Every structure is written in C-alpha cells, then in structure tokens.
Amino acid sequence: MRVIAERAARGELPIDVRAVISDRADARGLETAASMGIPVASLSPKDFPDRPSFDSALARLIDQYQPGLLILAGFMRILGGAFTSHFNGRTLNIHPSLLPKYRGLHTHRRALEAGDAHHGVSVHFVTEELDGGPVVIQARVPVLPDDTEATLIERVQHQEHSIYPEVVGWFASGRLVCRDGEAWLDGSPLKNPVIREASIT
C-alpha cells in the first residue's frame, strides 16, 4: 500500500488514492495513509453477525469513494461472492506464490517444505474463488539452499513492490482489463501471465 501510494503521490502512477480501508482499526497502513493525507476508514467484522453482512457494509463504505479500482494489500479476509461480483473486473490482489500453487496461507513455508527451486508472487484479478482469479503477472525468485522463511519472504516482497504498482499502472492507463473471466493486456487475452525473472543481487 505504501509503495503504491508514494508512487501515486510522486506522479509515477496515473491514479488518485481516494481512501485506505482496513478491517482493523490498528492497522499500520491506516496510520501511514493518514500521514500522507489520504482518507482512512476501518470496519470491524466483529460488529456484524455474519460475513455477508460485513461484506455488504464494506461494499457500501467503499462505494462512497467511487473507486475505479480496488487494490487489496494485506487484506487477509475472504470476500464473498456478492462482494466480488459487485466489484467484478476492478479488484486486484497480490498473493505470495506462483499461482495456482499454494493458494491460501503459509506459502513461503510450503515452498520450502516442498523443496521448490523457485517461488514468487502473483498479481491477479479477484473472483469468488480464493486466489483463483485471472493471473496478470508473476515474479519468480530462486529458492536458495540456505533460505529460511524470513530470507525468502524478503526476496519475494522486493518483487511485490515492483510488479504490483506496474499492474496498477496498466489498469489505470487502460492497457489492462478483465473481460469474460480473462485478463486482457494491450488488446489481447493473457493465455499465460507475464513473467518477471528475478536474479540474485
């Protein structure tokens, strides 16, 4: 969130960050956004009887800002079908694995336990299927023999800060759209995601 907001503020992304919203009032991102003059809001799921009620209230809150794009960054709640349909084709998420591998949690640990030679991060459109929407771009990083979760996380996060703003820029400039359940870039459907290969430096 911070990287995207900073690049927008510097004019490096053609977007206006209208609000940062969290399901936790103590989220560090809210403090960061507020310090940058970005409107912030929080909505706790504990204040609602069930997930559909929370999703509905969250959608109404977001609609107040009339966004062209929702950017999920560290938002760890599963969003239901009514919510994802309401914002269909204009919600992006970043997931720390080379999807479709390792949907859900603990992706770095799972990659290490599996002995994978490569790990990485994916940016995808959000659908009702958990981490199952059309993938736009992936950054692949090598897994080193002495890697721990901490070192692998650091290497992957470095790539996150590169590819997520890039995809946001594509969407904002009209190069990227989600059409009929597929990601389209520059007028053509992406049969496979764009791949960025990260080297060790």
Q: Quick check: 201 pLDDT over 80?
A: no
User: What is the set of active-site residues?
Assistant: 95
Domains of the chain (ranges, CATH numbers): 2-197 (3.40.50.170)
Amino acid at 113: E
pLDDT tens for 27-51 read: 999 999 999 999 999 999 999 999 9
Calculated CA dihedral for residues 77, 83, 89, 90, nearest 10 degrees: -70
- The stretch 119-137 carries a mean pLDDT of 97
pLDDT tens for 152-197 read: 999 999 999 999 999 999 999 999 999 999 999 999 999 999 999 9
Which of 51-60, 70-79, 96-105, 133-142 has the lowest average pLDDT? 70-79
Decide: helix, strand or coil at residue 70: strand
Close Cβ partners of 164 (under 8 Å, ≥ 6 residues apart) = 3, 4, 71, 73, 92, 94, 123
Q: Considering only CA atoms, which of 76, 69, 70 is closest in space to residue 96?
A: 76
Decide: helix, strand or coil at residue 98: coil
Close Cβ partners of 90 (under 8 Å, ≥ 6 residues apart) = 67, 68, 69, 70, 171, 178
**Sign of the dihedral through C-alpha 30, 34, 40, 44:** positive
Cβ atoms of 155 and 141 within 8 Å: the answer is yes
Amino acid at 107: T
pLDDT-based confidence at residue 106 (cuts at 50, 70, 90):
very high
Distance linking the first and last C-alpha atoms of the chain: 25
